[in-house]
Chains A and B, each alone.
Chain A
Amino acid sequence: AQKVTQAQTEISVVEKEDVTLDCVYETRDTTYYLFWYKQPPSGELVFLIRRNSFDEQNEISGRYSWNFQKSTSSFNFTITASQVVDSAVYFCALSEVITDKLIFGTGTRLQVFP
């Protein structure tokens, strides 16, 4: 069965600290996609990244970076120099290639204090 685990339910940091959000997934598929979404208090999901299972290169986008490790089935997300605007719930998700169904983790609530 497909499963996404985000063990950290809540993280609090002070502005400018770096923070890493963990994501561990389970799947029997050899081809799959992994995603990160941000959900601010307004509720709208904001797409952050999509990574396919064949691309293990780490990615950096501004203050955001992602570490995909197939060997440990992990897809961790790091925010460098966090800002108050980063406060939100972050979801990691796994997608089945054939059905496109998204399986979401339980989310990590990040609070960044000034």
Chain B
Amino acid sequence: GAVVSQHPSRVICKSGTSVKIECRSLDFQATTMFWYRQFPKQSLMLMATSNEGSKATYEQGVEKDKFLINHASLTLSTLTVTSAHPEDSSFYICSARLSRGVKNEQYFGPGTRLTVT
């Protein structure tokens, strides 16, 4: 149980185009999903917290107009990288929270590798 999928797993796009990445909780409902970014050989950095039915909360330094997050249902959050540039090339990972309180668990998707040429 508690499986999170991401689509696509890899994407190559041209500079200036937009790319949408989907994050789905397959067998549970997730009121909250998180989006992380990981540059090569670096750690994961939280970009934003996505709550179903409300606006995402972005971490300091993350451009909300560039990284559009939509969490329209309890099983789907999307991250759209708008007007992508080569410096946006990275590994994007989402996670979904199963429940609040004591468990405080996040389940991670397999990640999406974005390459902007």
Contact = CB atoms under 8 A, between A and B. Distances in A.
Contacts of B105: 50
Contacts, number: 51
B42 interface: yes
B26 to A, nearest CB: 15
Given A33-B104, A100-B104, A102-B106, A91 B34 contact: no
Contacts of B93: 43, 45
Contacts of A109: 41
Interface stretch (B14-22, B61-69, B107-115): B107-115
Interface in B78-117: 91, 93, 95, 97, 100, 102, 104-108, 110-111, 113
Contacts of A83: none
B46 interface: yes
Interface in A78-100: 91, 95, 97, 99-100
Given A43-B91, A99-B49, A100-B100, A105 B43 contact: yes
19 contacts: A33-B104, A43-B93, A43-B110, A44-B110, A44-B111, A45-B111, A50-B104, A50-B105, A100-B32, A100-B34, A100-B100, A100-B104, A101-B34, A101-B46, A102-B106, A103-B46, A104-B45, A106-B42, A106-B43
Interface of A: 33, 37, 42-45, 47, 50, 52, 91, 95, 97, 99-107, 109
* 5 nearest CB pairs, A to B: A45-B108, A44-B110, A43-B111, A104-B43, A104-B44
